[in-house]
């Protein structure tokens, strides 16, 4: 049987692994360590916004991965008027991020169904020390021929260099036969579009696309990806 795509390039966080679930557990534990009287649920959206801001700076090449680790906490602590060492905060938070991964619904079922029919790669802007541990805990490495983590190649999505690195590993297939699947318009989808790959926005947050970045496909679940984009029955024997 022939398939429309030769390669599937999956983002990891909030595409295959539920980063938000791990992040909330880590943040809750940190705030309770600092001061159990603080309301972590009201503080979490503030931290999340600063984290997104700092990741945007990293993806634009404005700061390093090491700077990212402490800057987000420094900005958050200043805003919340909390006195705590940003480096220690990051270490505590990382422990939970690294060791408490959660799957996006249907992720393993999908990978099992795809393996053997497609060649697959992980493409993530995450941090190496975090991503490898999570992948190993969830026993996901065997589904992918390559796992590309931004701080290991000194390039981040949506940079041309990141996708060029992936392209060379795939021995430059026809770009129309490469599908990039990810939850972030500004990194996954823009990077794929700019490089010439086909893009699928996994709209994890189920939000409106108010940007000028246009994915080739939009789905709201991995089941949608299987049915509407890959045209396969996820539950086929």
CATH 2.30.130.10 fits 7-17+103-229, yes or no: no
On the question of pLDDT at 55 being above 90, the answer is no
| In the chain, ranges of CATH 1.10.150.240 domains | 20-99
| ω into 158 cis (within 30 of 0) | yes
Structural contact between residues 226 and 232, judged by C-beta atoms closer than 8 angstroms: yes
What is the per-residue pLDDT for 235? Answer: 56
What mean pLDDT, rounded, does the chain reach?
A: 94
CATH 3.40.50.1000 domain extents, the chain: 7-17+103-229
Kindly report the pTM of this predicted structure.
Answer: 0.91
CATH fold of the domain at 20-99? DNA polymerase; domain 1 (1.10.150)
Choose the weakest-confidence range: 55-59, 89-93, 134-138, 169-173.
Answer: 55-59
Tell me how far apart the alpha carbons of residues 156 and 54 are, in angstroms, rounded to a whole number. Answer: 14
For residue range 158-178, list pLDDT tens digits in order: 999 999 999 999 999 999 999
pLDDT tens for each residue of 130-154? 999 999 999 999 999 999 999 899 9
pLDDT at 133: 95
């Amino acid at each position: 049987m022939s398939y429309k795509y030769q390669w599937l390039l999956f983002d990891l966080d909030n595409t295959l692994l539920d980063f938000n679930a791990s992040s909330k557990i880590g943040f809750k534990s940190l705030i309770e360590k600092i001061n159990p009287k603080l309301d972590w649920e009201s503080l979490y959206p503030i931290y999340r916004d600063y984290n997104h801001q700092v990741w945007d700076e990293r993806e634009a090449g404005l700061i390093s991965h090491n700077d990212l680790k402490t800057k987000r906490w420094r900005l958050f602590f200043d805003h919340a008027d909390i006195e705590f060492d940003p480096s220690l905060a990051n270490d505590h938070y990382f422990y939970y991020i690294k060791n408490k991964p959660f799957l996006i619904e249907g992720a393993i079922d999908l990978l099992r169904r795809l393996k053997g029919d497609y060649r697959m790669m992980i493409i993530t802007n995450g941090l190496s020390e975090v991503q490898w541990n999570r992948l190993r805990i969830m026993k996901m490495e065997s589904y992918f021929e390559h796992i590309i983590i931004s701080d290991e190649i000194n390039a981040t999505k949506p940079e041309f260099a990141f996708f060029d690195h992936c392209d060379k590993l795939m021995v430059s297939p026809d770009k129309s036969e490469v599908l990039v699947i990810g939850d972030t318009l500004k990194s996954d989808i823009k990077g794929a579009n700019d490089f010439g790959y086909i893009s699928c926005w996994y709209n994890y947050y189920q939000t409106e696309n108010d940007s000028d970045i246009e994915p080739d496909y939009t789905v709201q679940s991995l089941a949608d990806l299987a049915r509407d984009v890959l045209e396969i029955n996820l539950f086929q024997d």
